[in-house]
Structure 1
Amino acid sequence: GGGGQGSSLMTFLPIIFIFVIFYFLLIRPQQKQKKEHQNVLANLKVGDNVLTAGGIYGRVTGLKDDKVTVEISDKVRVKVSRGHIAGMVKQDVLKAD
């Protein structure tokens, strides 16, 4: 009578196990990284050294809603969408190399 139910559970167990591993190795770290990135964007302030998603280094000179003004060279400023700030950098990006 009831022997068939146990074997069907055993066939789905490896699939469930793979989904659990997939979640902990891929989905959860990605959600954590996204949350950290949103935290960085929310805490941007004038004077922060940043890297844009396009690979341009600069210093934040203005913040307005979803736009960030970034100075990339002496007296050269560009407006960038806040979401395209990849992160903050520690070194002073406007110093001469």
Structure 2
Amino acid sequence: MLYAAQSGGGAGSFMPILMIALLFGVMYFMMIRPQQKRRREAEQMQSSIGPGDEIVTIGGLYGTVASVDDETVVLEVAPGVQTRYARPAIARVVNKTERAESVHEEAEVKE
């Protein structure tokens, strides 16, 4: 009887390893993948910013993009008041300018 209890323990030692692997799999699909997707979307949004766009910084400051550089964005926060921010400091775009629509219209005219 003691021998039967010991032989069943071999299959039980595989179960904790399987549970740990399953836990890592769930963590990857629930936490890591969505975070990577949000980071890609933020980088895409920050790279598409252009002059005239109304944006919000991570600090909550609203402004209009005056100019764009490789690493910085100059915002006009009030008439005649311009401040410079790093691109990653842009949280979201409130209003895009109509330049994106004009590009689409020009592409349709060329076709």
Shorter-chain TM range is 0.7 to 0.9
Confirm or deny that 1:24 pairs with 2:29: yes
| Structure 1 runs, 4 residues or longer, greater than 2 Å off | 2-9
Q: 1:85 is aligned with what amino acid?
A: I
Residues 3 and 38 of structure 1, relative CA distance in 2, 3 Å threshold:
same
TM-score (norm 2): 0.73
Larger relative helix fraction: 2
Hey, what does 1:61 align to over in structure 2? Answer: 66
CA RMSD for the aligned pairs?
A: 2.0
Confirm or deny that 1:8 pairs with 2:13: yes
**Aligned-residue identity in percent:** 36
> Which fold has the larger relative contact order, with Cα–Cα distance below 8 Å and residues 6 or more apart in sequence?
1
What is the rounded CA distance, in whole Å, between the counterparts of 1:34 and 1:28 in structure 2?
10
Hey, what does 2:54 align to over in structure 1? Answer: 49
Structure 1: runs of 5+ lacking an equivalent:
92-97
TM-score (norm 1): 0.82
What is the rounded CA distance, in whole Å, between the counterparts of 1:62 and 1:6 in structure 2?
65
What is the rounded CA distance, in whole Å, between the counterparts of 1:6 and 1:47 in structure 2?
65
- CA deviation profile, 1:7-56 (whole Å, cap 9, x unmatched): 33212111111111111111110000000000011111111111111110
Q: 2:25 is aligned with what amino acid?
A: V
